[in-house]
Amino acid sequence: MLDFFTIFSKGGIVLWCFQGAGVTESFTGPVNALIRSVILQERSGNNSYTHEALSLKYKLDNEFELIYVVGFQKILTLTYVDKFIDDVQLHFRDRYKNELEQKGALKLLNNNYEFEDDFKMLLREAEDSSKAKSPGHMRTFKESEKSQKTVKSMIETKGGDKTKERSGKKNKNTKKEADQGKTSSSGQKMVENGNQGLTADEIVQKNIEEFVRKRLDGLKGILLYISAISLLCIVNNFPPLFVEFSSKKGGSFGGMFGMLKGLVGSKSLTREDMESVLDKMRDHLIAKNVAAEIASQLCDSVAKKLEGKVMGTFTTVASTVKLALQDSLVQILQPKRRVDILRDVMEAQSQRRPFVITFCGVNGVGKSTNLAKISFWLIENGFTVLIAACDTFRAGAVEQLRTHQRRLNSLHPPEQHGGRPVVQLYEKGYGKDAAGIAMEAIAYARNQVFDVVLVDTAGRMQDNAPLMTALAKLIAVNMPDLVLFVGEALVGNEAVDQLVKFNQALADHSMSDRPRLIDGIVLTKFDTIDDKVGAAISMTYITGQPIVFVGTGQTYNDLRSLNARAVVSALMKA
């Protein structure tokens, strides 16, 4: 039933693995896809992942930094997998606890983890329990209670209902009062029994100890504890209390600081501990323009990442969660692959072909303006650019690009480049097929030895099916080297809808088994949003693709690369 089960560390060391009978394909491909697409991109809020014909379920063990992964055919419905992976985790931890507590990759490699027999026993028990839970027998109408009712029993009298309701309330109140009386008397009795045989000083000492234990929370609780105990010792002239108090637990902790360490440190985080902090973090992210769905997924991922992790001494839950969320956000914004356009252009030059970049996005986000900024950036780095005017719908689109071409050539006169203009515009007017114009422009650039072709497309809403089909056709026919989505930094939840539908349209209308989707993002109007930078997180999280450029103004120089840590710092600022 199971194709494979593997246990490995977060450092990538495989501790133990199992492969099902008759399974010949290696499980490294699906597991590597899970690591790249889910774990490294902080998408671990959901514990399942689909890779081709396989369904993968995984569990993170944050205390020992381990990952448990099980794979099976996705056409199967295995209801016992979630409980089974929990049982395997518990058994493996219990059996090799001493070995797992040793730090360092070399020590993990040197240990021998014999787990085959335990695994097969747990798997057999899980499969047997699943077979035992057969669906219950459905009753016939004659067997149901409804068939036994008569018409007379279903007639309700108004007066009778009221009497019944009043009497029901009376009985309920009477019972409640009786319960309260019972609780009060038993509570008094427990207090009396608990303090039997204690002197007045011992009762005071006991009450202060209980009070401080309940109120102890992080550094504030520690200071409160020290103040209360010191005050008690001074006022009542008690002997040193710390050693006595710790000895009741079965041994001294080495004085005051040892006891405090025992009380505060070595706490394993649970979901309940983090719930209130995560709710506040979720609201904070939404207020900073992160899409609500993405904010919830991020918080769920952080909770799963921290659950079971042991907190350090003198650290609070809030600071631990905040630090983990910051690390996750930085990880999301950092590129998962190399993004070096200049190097890619030089590689295309060596192959004697132009490097093609296509720009797409919704209406009014600044595609043409940012295309001109990228043209200026490429010219400054010594490349020649051909702009393909494939927006054949919007009035004035071609004239706008012609103006940019004229201004760019005035900044870099042809006399300085051997009499050849560094920027040219390829246009065929309005109402023509955009895919055909792009194809002709690429062929022209190859013949005239241009280094880069920038393809400007018409703005289109993500739910406009005909225009989305035309964009998918343009990309599928011309196969550009880079597809950049141009989006505003002002959008919140709309960013999710835009990117999901753009990618879906490109996949649906592609003629290839491996369709070309969005390769990167250009985020515009970044200078207008102050610290509400959440759109950067939403767009990167949805596509898994990097933000290549950020538009920060109206001039050609206002183009920047994204500083992930600066964005996260602004995002987490109160």
Instruction: Give tens-digit pLDDT for 525-535.
Output: 888 888 888 88
Report the pLDDT averaged over residues 501-514.
80
pLDDT tens for each residue of 461-480 = 888 888 888 888 899 889 99
Is the Cβ–Cβ distance between 388 and 437 less than 8 Å? yes
> Rounded CA gap, 63 and 96, in Å?
13
304: Cβ–Cβ under 8 A, 6 or more apart, which residues?
Answer: 44, 45, 47, 60
> Rounded CA gap, 99 and 64, in Å?
10
- SS3 call for 453: strand
Please report where in the chains the tokens 């405090």 appear, as a residue.
Answer: 260
pLDDT tens for each residue of 99-127 = 777 666 666 676 778 888 888 889 888 88
Which of 62-76, 130-144, 178-192, 381-395 has maximum average pLDDT? 381-395
Q: What pLDDT was estimated at residue 263?
A: 44
* Main-chain phi, psi angles of 360, to 5 degrees: -140, 165
- What is the largest distance, in Å, between two alpha-carbon atoms of the chain? 106
Is a pLDDT exceeding 70 seen at residue 395? yes
> Rounded CA gap, 348 and 11, in Å?
36
Segment (H or E) for 245? helix 241-247
Q: What pLDDT was estimated at residue 50?
A: 87
Please, what is the Cα angle at 280 between 275 and 282, to 5 degrees?
A: 90
**Exposed/middle/buried for residue 312 (C-beta within 10 Å: 0-12, 13-18, 19+):** exposed
Report the pLDDT averaged over residues 155-165.
52
Reported confidence tier of residue 259, pLDDT bands at 50, 70, 90: very low
Q: What pLDDT was estimated at residue 258?
A: 46
pTM: 0.65
What is the secondary structure of 458-514 as a DSSP string? ----TT-HHHHHHHHHHHHHH--SEEEEEEETT-SHHHHHHHHHHHHHHHHT-SSSS
Count the neighbouring beta carbons within 10 Å of the beta carbon of residue 115: 19
- SS3 call for 150: coil
> Rounded CA gap, 480 and 459, in Å?
18
490: Cβ–Cβ under 8 A, 6 or more apart, which residues?
Answer: 289, 525, 528, 529, 535
Q: What pLDDT was estimated at residue 445?
A: 95
Tokens of 220: 């504030």
Strands (E) in 181-277, as ranges, are 267-268
> Rounded CA gap, 359 and 466, in Å?
18
Is the Cβ–Cβ distance between 555 and 563 less than 8 Å? no
Dihedral sign from CA coordinates of 374, 375, 380, 386: positive
Q: What pLDDT was estimated at residue 147?
A: 65
Chain centroid to Cα 114, Å, comes to: 34
pLDDT tens for each residue of 220-235 = 555 555 565 555 555 5
> Rounded CA gap, 213 and 299, in Å?
30
Query: Looking at per-residue confidence, does 260 or 95 come out higher?
Result: 95
Please report where in the chains the tokens 């996705």 appear, as a residue.
Answer: 74
The residue type of 293 is E
Count the neighbouring beta carbons within 10 Å of the beta carbon of residue 171: 10
**Exposed/middle/buried for residue 397 (C-beta within 10 Å: 0-12, 13-18, 19+):** buried
Lowest-confidence segment of 137-151, 288-302, 413-427 by average pLDDT: 137-151
Count the neighbouring beta carbons within 10 Å of the beta carbon of residue 138: 6
- SS3 call for 45: coil
Q: What pLDDT was estimated at residue 495?
A: 76
Is the Cβ–Cβ distance between 49 and 37 less than 8 Å? yes
- SS3 call for 78: coil
Query: Looking at per-residue confidence, does 294 or 174 come out higher?
Result: 294
Query: Looking at per-residue confidence, does 519 or 232 come out higher?
Result: 519
